[in-house]
Structure 1
């Protein structure tokens, strides 16, 4: 059973029993991604590392090695 089918079944059952419908699948995904990003930034600050720009600086070091 797919996630959409399960959501439709749960919505139908909720309507039969007069209960509120469950949230749609994927509705909180963006909020979860933001929370994960904020948590990673917080952990970087606590560990005394730069909170942002780490990926770009790592790619810059890798793509443009220093001349000897």
Structure 2
């Protein structure tokens, strides 16, 4: 059963019982992503690591290592 089918079934059952319908699929996805991001930043601060910019720094280190490796092969 797909998410849409489950949503329609839940909506139908709620209407039969006079209850409010469920939220639409994907309605709270952005809130969830923000909550996960905030939790990761909080845990980083508690652990004594920088709260932001970690991904960019890691990718920069990886790119520099790759370019060094390519330069040594070219020589």
For the superposition of Structure 1 and Structure 2, which TM-score range results when normalised by the shorter chain? 0.7 to 0.9
Paired residues, what number? 66
Q: Extract structure 1 runs of 4+ deviating beyond 6 A.
A: none
> CA offset at residue 26 of structure 1?
1.3
Task: Provide the aligned C-alpha RMSD in A.
Answer: 1.2
- Greater C-alpha radius of gyration: 2
- What is the alpha-carbon distance in structure 2 between the residues aligned to residue 43 and residue 2 of structure 1? 35
Q: Structure 1, unaligned stretches of length 5 or more? A: none
> For residue 29 of structure 2, what is the aligned residue in structure 1?
29
Q: Structure 2, unaligned stretches of length 5 or more? A: 69-75
> For residue 50 of structure 1, what is the aligned residue in structure 2?
50
- What is the alpha-carbon distance in structure 2 between the residues aligned to residue 58 and residue 13 of structure 1? 49
Q: Name the TM-score, length of structure 1 as normaliser.
A: 0.88
Q: Name the TM-score, length of structure 2 as normaliser.
A: 0.80
